[in-house]
Amino acid sequence: MNYHKLFEPYELSGNQLANRFLMAPMTRSRASQPGDIPNALMAEYYAQRSTAGIIITEATQVSLQGKGYANTPGIYSKQQIEGWKLITNAVHQNGSKIFLQLWHVGRVSSSKVNGLQPIAPSALIAQNTSVYVFDGAVNGDATFVPVEEPRAMDKADIDTVIQEFVQGAKNAIEAGFDGVEIHGANGYLIDQFLRSNSNKRTDEYGGTQENRIRLLIEISKEVANAIGKEKTGIRLSPFISFKDMNDPEILQTIMIAAAELNKLDVAYIHLCEADWDDAPQIPLDFRIELRDTFKKTIIATGNKTPEEAEKLLEENLVDLVGFGRKFLTNPDYPAKVKENFRLNEISDTHTLFGGGTARGYTDYPFMR
């Protein structure tokens, strides 16, 4: 099949992309310790995959409080900024673009990870949800621990989080990133505010849908003011309900948020779509309504085949398509798609999270 649209150049708010392939964010837990510092091995990993038109980094915590998993990188210390410069320089030398994903996990955490009680919109524990540490791990494997009950955030906490996202965005630009992606998906802090089942507040950040999107919009506005709206993207997950996030109002809430994000004229909305085998399909009417509501770039990620990606692009329902696991195991994924070349599979699931070596990280073979 000739994937004409996938290999077409694209302009993302002034960023010239070589193609429509986006390398999606994937947590790999390789940051150097202590300090959650990006390193040379991570730079090699991202550089290998810079045949993507644009890369969105793994989720990166904006503060120690925002950390939920061991060995994930941060963007709040000078050492972390310097570490990330290794990655941005390597990717730019290969001609690609790279955005940093800004992350606060909210209630999806444990004091075993960061020494702190989690915080959230409401003091509601996420049922059947775990995070991981490496203390006492066997063969380097992660050890999963249940999340702990969070403390309900007060207004001072909210103001602090907003400023942490703003400072994280400024730090990302200092580190050489082309922009940032605000992580408002997958059951983490901003998503917890969006959903009626995790947000039981009665102040201006809870109750109505307009109030529940307030934190997302305030963070987006302040980040855009700090680094530029053309460098600010948002990730949302309207059809994902894991981490105890099943909210019957979420689709309407997301659309209200999309209208407000359109007013802010941010660079893009990135849809994180369910990617397991029997996952619900995104309804066509949702895609059409989102396109009508939000006028800038729309990205879809969720285990798409190249055929599915090409169809979405041809129908003008999205502008870029994210690929995660395909890039994880195939650093030259676009070239393999073009030549219909056999794809590498995951060699060892034990290497997905953690490990300080190249095994299962930078040793996947190229086509040639």
The pLDDT value recorded for residue 275 is 72
- For CA atoms 82, 87, 16, 103, give the dihedral sign: negative
Instruction: Identify which has the larger pLDDT, 350 or 167.
Output: 167
Tell me whether residue 163 is in a domain: yes
- For CA atoms 176, 90, 333, 351, give the dihedral sign: negative
What's the number of CA atoms in the CB half-sphere (13 Å) around residue 352?
A: 13
Res 138 pLDDT > 60: no
Res 157 pLDDT > 80: yes
The pLDDT value recorded for residue 160 is 98
Tell me whether residue 318 is in a domain: yes
Q: How many CB atoms lie within 10 A of CB 155?
A: 10
Give the model's confidence band at 142: pLDDT under 50 very low, under 70 low, under 90 confident, else very high.
confident
**Measured distance CA(354)–CA(367) in Å, rounded:** 26
The pLDDT value recorded for residue 137 is 53
Res 81 pLDDT > 60: yes
Contact 290, 304 (CB under 8 A): no
**Mean model confidence pLDDT for the chain:** 96
Which residue matches tokens 């085998």?
A: 277
DSSP annotation string for 57-73: EEEEESSSTT--STT--
Determine the distance from the C-alpha atom of residue 88 to the mean position of all C-alpha atoms in its chain, rounded to a whole number: 17
**Count of structural domains, the chain:** 1
Contact 287, 317 (CB under 8 A): yes
Catalytic (active-site) positions = 188
Determine the distance from the C-alpha atom of residue 345 to the mean position of all C-alpha atoms in its chain, rounded to a whole number: 22
The pLDDT value recorded for residue 277 is 64
**Residue 149: DSSP 8-state:** P
Which neighbouring-strand residues pair with 16? 11
Q: What is the pLDDT of residues 166-204, one digit of tens each?
A: 999 999 999 999 999 999 999 999 999 999 999 999 999
What tokens appear for 129 in the block? 């949800």
What's the number of CA atoms in the CB half-sphere (13 Å) around residue 122?
A: 19
Supply the pTM of this predicted model.
0.97
**Which CATH number characterizes residue 130's domain?**
3.20.20.70
Alpha-carbon distances of 318 from 252, 313, 361, rounded to whole Å:
19, 6, 30
The pLDDT value recorded for residue 139 is 61
Determine the distance from the C-alpha atom of residue 46 to the mean position of all C-alpha atoms in its chain, rounded to a whole number: 15
Question: For the CA atoms of 249, 217, 227, 179, what is the dihedral angle to 10 degrees?
Answer: 0
Contact 192, 107 (CB under 8 A): yes
What's the number of CA atoms in the CB half-sphere (13 Å) around residue 3?
A: 22
* CB within 8 Å of 248: residues ≥ 6 apart: 196
Domain that holds residue 326: 10-351
Tell me whether residue 57 is in a domain: yes
Tell me whether residue 4 is in a domain: no
Q: What is the pLDDT of residues 274-323, one digit of tens each?
A: 776 666 778 899 999 999 999 999 999 999 999 999 999 999 999 999 99
**Percentages helix, strand, coil for the chain, rounded to the nearest 5?**
35, 15, 50
**Measured distance CA(362)–CA(312) in Å, rounded:** 31
Tell me whether residue 315 is in a domain: yes
Identify which of 103, 40, 115 has the alpha carbon closest to the alpha carbon of residue 72. Answer: 103
Tell me whether residue 358 is in a domain: no
Tell me whether residue 24 is in a domain: yes
Q: What is the pLDDT of residues 236-263, one digit of tens each?
A: 999 998 999 999 999 999 999 999 999 9
The pLDDT value recorded for residue 141 is 80
Question: For the CA atoms of 285, 302, 183, 220, what is the dihedral angle to 10 degrees?
Answer: -30
Tell me whether residue 317 is in a domain: yes
